[in-house]
Each structure stands twice: as structure tokens, then as C-alpha cells.
Structure 1
Amino acid sequence: MRVQATQRDDARAIRDEVRDIARDAGRDPDAVRVLVDLVTVVGQDRRSAQERLDLLEELGGENGGLPEGALTHVGTAVDLADLLEDWFDAGAADGFTLRPASLDTDLRAIVGGTVPVLQADGVFRQTYPGTTLRDTLGLPRPASRYAAAQ
């Protein structure tokens, strides 16, 4: 489930609530993943990232056309890795839906800067565990409702 939260404690409360609802419904709460929506503006330093956000706001109007309600990171690739680790370690998220403000600039910074830091810290995979998103998220395959009908 993808959620929007701009504060770590709010995200943790949402995640706890989702897990409680799953448990109350008789489902394994560990089979539910809560992903925080995160917009990224990444620069070589915080100042250049802020300048890019200012330009986006100038070109795109209020909030630079960035989604409202989503957590927004404006800083370096290493700062982004620190934020991801902090929220994950605090139990605020099982993962993140990263949305680069600029595919060319921000995606390159995430792949070339943030991912290697997370891998070096042992919190991001080096290889994929399977071929599906379910495999990647470590979720069990649900029983087929059609198999039960036969």
C-alpha cells in the first residue's frame, strides 16, 4: 500500500494502523508492505538541489508541479540515503515509492549516488530475489480463488 506522509511519526502511525487492520482481518501483517510516497530533488549539494526546486516552482507554478502531500526530499544523494534508512529503521515504512522530480537528473543521482550508499550499508539488495514484484517485496503468493472452485 502506498501512503502519503510528510512526517516520520505520521508514517509510522499509518503503517501501524494498516498492520493492525490486516491482523484484525486475520491476515499476516508481515505480508503487507507500506510504501511511503517520496518526491526527490537531488543535487551535488543542498544549495544546488534547492535551486533546482526553485526553478521547478518558477516553471511549474506553486510547488513546482510536485504532488501535494508527498514527502519531498531536497538535498544530496547521500542525504536521501540517510532519510530512507532513518524512516525504515524507525518502522515508518517498509519501503518507498521514489518519484524523481526530473527523470534525467534525479534518477541518475538516485541510481549513481543513493543506491550505492544503501547497498554499502546493507539495506538495499545487490541482486533481485526473483522475477516479479511480489518476489522482490518478499510477499507470499496468495492461493488461487479459481483453484478452490474446481
Structure 2
Amino acid sequence: MTEEPNLSARELIEQLTPALSRRRRVQAVAALVAGLAGAVFAATLWWSEPGPLPGRTHLAFAVLTAFCLAWTGYGGWLLTRRVPLFATDRVVAAWLGLAASVTTTAGLAAVAVQRGTGLAPTLAVGGLFVAAALALAVRAHHRRAELLRRMHELTRADPASSD
């Protein structure tokens, strides 16, 4: 009969490789591929538009391309992580979603004001997206804080981790 080695909490945490489950890796690949496809699609549309475009159209294409590249970067970053993330990935994704929601809502509101169309529906729908993204960001921050608190409790309570 072999005896299991007595590992400290810190050693257990360090042995949590791979850090991402298969499901999270699939999500990371999806973010990377979708972001890259979106960036290529937006940049191709932007580049192939005939004639001179108004400044706000250039801005819209640039923002859309930038958001897609951000998701591409997020997916690539997530795939390269080999350490426990303690929900950092969720926090980053939540902030990307919140930034996209706020920027899109602000842009659509500016267009609605410029055109003199209904600002209220734009703000109502945009507000729902912003509220949902904000709720996810708060939840992600709470989950990360919970995991970090638990890690500190485990490492503090473990006499072997104070070497």
C-alpha cells in the first residue's frame, strides 16, 4: 500500500494544471475564433466600402474591429494560462462586455440624437444590456474575491506554507 504524500495547500494549488477545464478551453477557443472572424469581417467591410465614408462610419468600424480584436486577445490570453486563474478570466470577460455595452449604447444614443429619432428606446434597450453586463461584472468580482479569500484561508491555516 502506498502512502499519499502530505501536500500543503499552496502545493495543491500549484498542482492545479491544467488550470482550465475542457469546457473553459472550448469557450476560450470560441472567443478567439469568433473575435478573429469578427475583426476580419469588420475590417474587410470597412476596407471594401466604395467611396469616401463619413467620419462616424470610420469610427464605428474602428470600434467594432477593436472590440473583436479585444475578444481575440482575451481568447488567446486564456488559452496560454497555465496557472490557476481564480476567476480572473471571468472578471476580464465581464469588463469587456461592459465596455462594449456602454460604448455601443453611447454610440447609438448619439446617432439617435443626431437623427432626431427616438432616444428613449435606444436608452432602454442599451440600459438593459449595460445593466446585465454590470451585474455579470459584479458577480465575477465577487466570485474572484471569494476564491482568493478561500486560497488565503487555506494557505494561512496550512503550517507547511509558512516555510
Identify whether the pair has TM-score above 0.5, normalized to the shorter chain: no
More helix by share: 2
Q: TM-score, normalised by structure 1?
A: 0.33
Q: Which has the larger radius of gyration?
A: 2
Structure of higher RCO (CA pairs closer than 8 Å, 6+ residues apart): 2
Q: TM-score, normalised by structure 2?
A: 0.31
